[in-house]
Structure 1
């Protein structure tokens, strides 16, 4: 394995942090170029996904790649997101590394579908759409509390306490650790008032690290 060396300045490097992003260069896997922010779990996952693309890795020497890989993996470990690297390729472990918010994407401009994709990934989003609406019930839908059932599973979303509770196996064992959603939660959100559900997902995406998923 090459010795890790901090990347130097690149032609396409940024001169400073993107708007709304950390001003501390140590919160980036490539601090010299203000690239690959790793200050939150979903930014660390996004950094891993983007840096896994060969065209992005090719901009760096093997030693610089090793440095960026190390920084990203340390962040993922710190946030409790499991990751394996084999031959430079990411192995999805426990389903926690999925589609995430694109780097520098304006959350306020993301559609309901785009927001769901962040939390579900393509496969689970397709599965959520396939659930019969008759199997989804919404018992309470206020500004602060959302509750109901999907099949035999309960759903509780408390915006005041910043808590999301759900009892299916996929969510409890795979998704909650990465603050992501399962197909049942996706199906539940599809039954809500669409503007209200979109506002909730935008809020959740901004403040996901402050929420409890259990």
Structure 2
């Protein structure tokens, strides 16, 4: 199977993972319309409207925007709640708003359309110094699991990338090289994998991590089956 999309709107494309994936898409002959990650500096919804008007061929939206900071509640005087709430907005509520904004375009297309999300393993195994990041990304992952099921009978497919540490501005000194991340992620996207797990979470082997994900996914499938039966 090959990557089915021809024109990707990539939100969060100016650095790190987003820039690496934009470059990789281009080398594969995929058109990319890039939007910067720092959404507080632009009107995201006007940008979306203008992007779709200028590029009606967009058939995939890649939601990669994110930010991370420490919040140490054992020193509450050091915690800036405005920064905490801003992080939750960028990582979660803004993503939900963007999905709501782009779905009419994607659902109205006659061919296959896609939504791609960048997640993180700390949604399941939290990293205690970064509670806003872990909680907001966990909320996003729960949202996309629900969204995937709601869209299962439509033309819009949901893919989720959950990489371990990658050498970006978040942590330039450790993690997998960006090139390795891009290649492993591209392989999963082109194969049509619903969930892609490049690298591994800190403190666990990849096999241990995937076993944990397998248990979670089986529980989600049981819950989904029960709800489908109850809802008719």
TM tier, smaller = under 0.3
Which structure shows the higher strand fraction?
A: 1
Greater RCO, CA 8 A, separation 6+: 2
Q: Which has the higher Rg, Structure 1 or Structure 2?
A: 1
Structure showing the higher helix proportion among its residues: 2
TM-score if structure 2 supplies the norm length? 0.25
